[in-house]
Structure 1
Amino acid sequence: MLSQPKEGTGRGTEPEVVDWDSDEDPQKPINWSNVRKFKNIVVVCYSTFLTPLGSTMFAPAIAQVMSAFESNNPVLASFTVSVWILGYFFGPLFLGPLSELYGRLPVYLVCNTLFTVFNIATAVAPSLPALIVFRFLSGTFGGCPITIGAGTFGDLIRPRSRGKVIAVWSLGPMLGPIMGPIAGGFLGEDAGWRWICWVLSIASGIAAIATLLFQEETYPVVLLEQKAAKLRKQTGNKSLRSTFASLDRKPSHVFARAIIRPLKLLFRSPIVTLLSIYQGLVYGYMYLLFTTFPLVFQEQYGFGTGVIGLTYLGMGVGSLIGCVGAGVAADMIYRKATAAGRWKPEERLVPLIPACFFIPVGLFWYGWAAEGRTHWIVPILGTLVAGIGINTLMMCVATYFIDAHPLYEASATAAMTAVRSLIGCLVPLFGRSMYEAMGLGWGNSLLGFLSLAMCPLPWLFYRYGEGIRKNPRFQLRL
């Protein structure tokens, strides 16, 4: 669609603007058929599941790794697992902006390919330092779907259905780390730790091929730029430009702005800053629990390397409950708020207002049950309760950032992912020392009190978030 003259005619002296033909234009990603959307969504969800899966598949077999490379350093053992998450910190800072400059598809293609390459390199690593470097690079490029997946769903899914889809997608970062130790425990016990890497390499190779065959470009800015370029070639009218051309799409300028955009959102938006820190703390708790489950259930309950992976199922079941509950609630709230004429992005935080309390309750429950050496099912039930709160937090914040930052949801998610991943990498490093000094009861209680202190944030941003977003002091020129 051209603003003037009509598409395919004349050569006006004023630049004509290329836009969608209408709000119902079938070329607009949000209007694609369900089948076309579905194949893109499935590939992104599969890729999103793989990266967190790889982050923890190593955990049950880490003793094998340290023995193979003749090291007994406990901090280095934890870092070998968590360095993958450190890659999540660096990757989003350039992957999110790149997707807003060149589109989602090229970033997915390059990153999924490199993710496969570095998984293979990890499988054949000749030394512990090489293994750590390759795991870091795997996490850096493997974090692509976690970083820009929210942007893809913002491109494809209408707000009324966004809650359920984001809930399903958010299961990847939750179920991946949970299923990883289950698979890694039995695989490491039977075939050795290198086969854990080979299996992940095969799975990531499938993701790269699926991206090439089934994914399409979904970013409206890039699609309209492509449409304008095609029309310029067809009509010879060099003044045609897309409706987003006013954003100054000169690559050097766009990239410079895009690279600093996540940092500007992180340091100048109180909403992005505080919710990113909140999510980062909780993400760190999750990985701390994941890296210390073998310590607790092997030493206190006598579980074997294979069976130890099953202890992660408590949090997995809790994540599923949180996914279903939060997804259904989010879409129901959207329909009611829209019908009442009071919809605002902050409505996405409503399910989190009660659910955030599940996190400290679950941590208290797990810590003191393990400290008291109760039956093994009791601490696992505590992790189930925590899992409900953690998955609800992940889903609600991701959906909120999509609705609150249209066109720049990838940058907002990148800022959140970077903070979340940095804390998620660092927290497990002091976990064993904390538990040795404070015990499981008081150690987990400390984490619980910190998460309890963050519980007012969802209500505060639901009540005052719109005013903060619209306040000139916090308006960012992105």
Structure 2
Amino acid sequence: MTPESDSHDVESNSPVLDPGDQKENTDAGYLKVKDERDETSLDVFWDEPIDQDPVNPMNWSSARKWTIVATVSWVTFLTPLASSMFAPGVTQVMKDFNSDSVLLATFVVSVYILGFAFGPLIVAPWSEYSGRVVVYNTCNILFFIFNIASALAPNMASLVVFRFLDGVAGVTPTTIGSGTIADIIPKESRGRAMALWSLGPLFGPIIGPVVGGYLVDGTNWRWVFWVLSIVGGLSSVAFFFIVPETHAPTILERKAARLRKETGNMGYKSQLDDGIPAKQRFLQSFSRPAKMLVLSPIVASMCIYIAVLYGLLYILFTTFTEVFEGQYGFSAGGSGLSFLGSGVGMLLGLSYSATLSDRMIRLKIQRNEEPQPEDRLPWYLTIPGSLSVPAGLLIYGWSTDKHVHWIVPEIGNAVTGFGMIVTLMGIQTYLVDAFTRHAASAIAACTVLRSLAGGLLPLCGLKLYDKLGLGWGNTLLAFIALGVAPIPFLFNLFGAQLRAQSRVLN
């Protein structure tokens, strides 16, 4: 029995050993440590030498690993893209279905994000119980099907239901992509992979209105879903052939099952099999994200922080169409381009984070020191990231309130976007390093809260601006962002002590 294969998960750093040390499984923090089992034990593990076993995902070639990361990152971009790509067509939808409810017009867009809130509770533990690839492929097909259903929706009620189900299926790469990265990428290179993957959840909703605006202008709102279904279908086929199973316990269990079948000896057992009955493991897997969110101060604090920022960003997004069409005279298609300011900031944040995220990890490895998850939250990432969000909100709010040239609020949006991607990437990489084996469950807990905030808070966003105006409304949002800004910096200082004192999670 290995430390990581125990039925309990402790909030502590996964041991990091020299890559050449044969004690290391080199698989997402799983360690092979000799226990007191009988010498004749039929444990199944990676073939010796471990760092040369081609079945071990950590030993795959760099080209194969980065092809997998790129493919997962693509679908992680595609499904959030669907959250907002439909937004420019809402006016046509309301006209087609004879409705004038402003609340319903907002809800038919945000209900997709609510699907993002419920889906992680299913797909994350499912992936840790039965492997990643079956979850990916199943949900990719469902994403394809529900987009077709949305394109054919006969009324508003059916459209809302199909959008919700589309979100439940579409959240899969956003939830378990971090687990895939942890499966195949070592710590010293994980930051760059996480940067590429983290871009999708934030950049997708920004590109969506740009593409959707011109698509709706040229055709109608139903073609948004037809395009998504076509791209989603082609992506599903490519994904099936490109991305193999990467989950170490699943791979080793399949190896043990093959040996049992070939030899007839039922004693073969995966080294990572904790001996827990299947039913009990199933229940543990599906309760783990909720337990992490409720019982883990680390997960809870980080998830609340991301949820607050995500909610503020989506409230901000609700003003773009009205401000840039009504105040600056942009066309319907051109108003979608207003989201590109945030996109430019996120690209800059991606470059900044990808360059610096692995820096401390590599320095410690070079000095033969043990890296810690807190090394993902150095001051040169946490301070610029957390302070850029309120700064950008203030620039956008008061420049639009005073009718300054449109480039100024776009600069403000770029500053906000920069802070969002730097903060999101740092926190998600921190959670992956702190809960390596169950990274998908930790990210699932984060995705649930941020999706609830992104789906529900925009419903009251326009009322906030009606009451306070753009200047003071965004000032209020900026002070909220400033209030939670110290969280990642404090975890950099005190996270290790908190993890050491944290209670055990089943």
Q: Would you say 1:460 and 2:490 are equivalent positions?
A: yes
Give the AA of the match of 1:169. W
Q: Could you say what secondary structure the match of 2:90 adopts? A: helix
2:403 — aligned with what? Answer: 373
Distance in 2 (alpha carbons) for counterparts of 1:136 and 1:200 = 15
210, 220, 234: which one aligns with 1:182: 210
User: Retained in 1: the 8 A contact 2:292–2:505?
Assistant: no
Partner of 1:7: none
| 1:317-372 superposed Cα distances (whole Å, 9 cap, x missing partner) | 00000001011101222212333425201111121233210000001111111111
**Structure 2 match to 1:6:** none
Q: Following superposition of structure 1 onto structure 2, how do residues 4-403 of structure 1 map, counting pairs within 5 Å?
A: 15-21=41-47, 22-24=49-51, 25-248=53-276, 250-340=277-367, 341=369, 343-350=371-378, 351-403=381-433
Separation (CA, whole Å) in 1 of partners of 2:261 and 2:375: 45
CA deviation vs aligned residue, 1:195-237 (integer Å, no higher than 9, x gap): 1111111111112111222110000010011111112222322
2:455 aligns to what?
425
Corresponding pairs, count: 465
**TM-score, with structure 1 as normaliser:** 0.95
What is the distance in 1 between the residues matched to 2:392 and 2:158? 37
Find the residue that maps to 1:391 and give its secondary structure.
helix
Deviations 1:228-249 (A, max 9, x none): 111222232211111111252x
Superposed displacement of residue 448, structure 1: 0.7
How far, CA to CA, are the matches of 2:417 and 2:259 in structure 1? Answer: 51
CA drift of 1:408 comes to 0.4
Structure 2 counterpart of 1:449, one-letter code:
F
Q: 1:43: Cα distance to partner?
A: 1.8
- Aligned twin of 1:476: 504
Partners of 1:85 and 1:139 within 8 A in 2? yes
* Aligned-residue CA RMSD (Å): 1.4
Deviations 1:110-149 (A, max 9, x none): 0000000000000111111111111111111000000000
Q: Which has the higher helix share?
A: 1
Q: Which amino acid in structure 1 is aligned with residue 197 of structure 2?
A: W
> Within 2, Cα distance between the matches of 1:346 and 1:354?
17
Quote the offset at 1:13 in angstroms. 9.6
- Any conservation in 2 of the 1:60–1:181 contact (CA below 8 Å)? yes
The corresponding residue for 2:3 is none
User: How far is the alpha carbon of 1:14 from its aligned partner?
Assistant: 5.6
Structure 2: distance between partners of 1:333 and 1:401? 16
Deviation sequence 1:263-322 (CA, Å, 0-9, x none): 111011111101101101111122222232101111111211110111011000000000
Amino acid at match of 2:54: P
Do 2:198 and 2:425's aligned partners in 1 also have CA atoms closer than 8 Å?
yes
- 1:5 corresponding residue in structure 2: none
Amino acid at match of 2:396: Y
Listed as ranges, the gaps of 5+ residues in structure 2 are 1-21, 23-37
The answer (yes or no) to whether the contact 1:55–1:84 under 8 Å persists in 2 is yes
Give 1:23 deviation, angstroms. Answer: 3.3
| Unaligned segments of structure 1, at least 5 residues | 2-11
Change (3 A) 1:157 1:247: farther
